[in-house]
């Protein structure tokens, strides 16, 4: 059983997806903050994250269109659309 210490609350927790978010860039493949600490941080900075996201979307409209089009034309995007339409017609 591997243990990791959360860098924020300093609790030693089992290194698993129950306690830490996955992060392929970190050692061991998990984030350095536990899920509880990460949620607290997110909730205390929610407005800033929203603002940053909105600004990025305004500055990258073409990129978003390109990514969306690429997904819609992919096999996964096509099957998702078919499922969605099927549910719409059933109702």
| Residue boundaries of the structural domains of the chain | 3-43, 57-90
One pLDDT digit (tens) per residue for the chain, 91 residues? 789 999 999 999 999 999 999 999 988 899 999 999 999 999 999 999 999 999 999 999 999 999 999 999 999 999 999 999 888 887 6
Those residues with Cβ within 8 angstroms of residue 28's Cβ, 6 or more apart along the chain or in another chain = 2, 4, 15
Exposed / middle / buried, residue 75 (Cβ in 10 Å: 0-12, 13-18, 19+): exposed
Note the Cα 59 to chain centre separation in Å.
21
How confident is the model at residue 91, as a pLDDT? 66
How confident is the model at residue 87, as a pLDDT? 84
Whether pTM > 0.75 for this model: the answer is no
How confident is the model at residue 32, as a pLDDT? 94
């Amino acid at each position: 059983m591997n243990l990791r210490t959360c860098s924020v609350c300093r609790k030693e927790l089992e290194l698993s997806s129950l306690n830490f978010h996955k992060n392929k860039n970190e050692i061991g493949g998990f984030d350095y903050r536990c899920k509880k600490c990460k949620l607290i941080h997110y909730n205390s900075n929610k407005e800033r994250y929203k603002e940053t996201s909105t600004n990025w979307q305004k500055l990258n409209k073409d990129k978003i269109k390109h990514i969306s089009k690429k997904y819609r034309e992919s096999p996964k995007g096509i099957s998702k659309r078919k499922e969605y339409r099927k549910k719409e017609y059933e109702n």
